[in-house]
Amino acid sequence: MITTQRFLLKPLTINDVSHKYLSWLRPEVSAYIEYAKNSPSIEELKSYVSERENRQDVLFLGVFTKEAQHIGNIKYEPINNKRKNATMGILIGDDDWRGRGVAIEVIKASGNYLANQHGIKTILLGVDGSNKAAVSVYQKVGFKIKKQDGSNIQMIWSL
């Protein structure tokens, strides 16, 4: 478990998959999340989480308030120990928590955890260039644009 000033980041399990979590995958919330474009059922979402639970190349964390409210997820997949990098995705699903600095706090804490516990040196991500808010957040964390191809942006954060 990773603790930040406001949040607990803990491995996501099928017990965390709820109808509330499923509601985060509606288009207006998750327009830029590739998996969400499939409109999964709750059973498919449980399977997706279960498939990642015990994998050594995945760190799939639920973001919880100190009051145990599940507000989002951050996932590193794959974690490549040989190359010392990991690919990140994040979703702050709870409307009440968007725009409140959650992503910055969570990315920094989990990135530092990967650096300290797993020797990870770089975090990679892909983002749609039209998602200006996300690009801005990632740059505030320390990500730099590595490559841009049309609206697809590849970013890298050196830890």
The total number of structural domains that make up the chain = 1
Q: Checking DSSP bridges between strand 85-92 and strand 122-128, what pairing results, if any? A: parallel
User: Which CATH number goes with the domain that contains 92?
Assistant: 3.40.630.30
Residues spanned by the domain of 69: 2-158
pLDDT higher for 1 or 27? Answer: 1
Lowest-confidence pick of 76-80, 92-96, 107-111, 136-140: 92-96
Angle at 101 between CA 14 and CA 67, to 5 degrees: 50
Mean pLDDT over 24-50 rounds to 77
CA dihedral 21, 124, 130, 95 (to 10 degrees): 20
Nearest to 96 by CA among 66, 61, 70, 73: 70
Query: What is the value of pTM for the model shown?
Result: 0.92
User: Band of the pLDDT at 23, cuts 50, 70, 90?
Assistant: confident
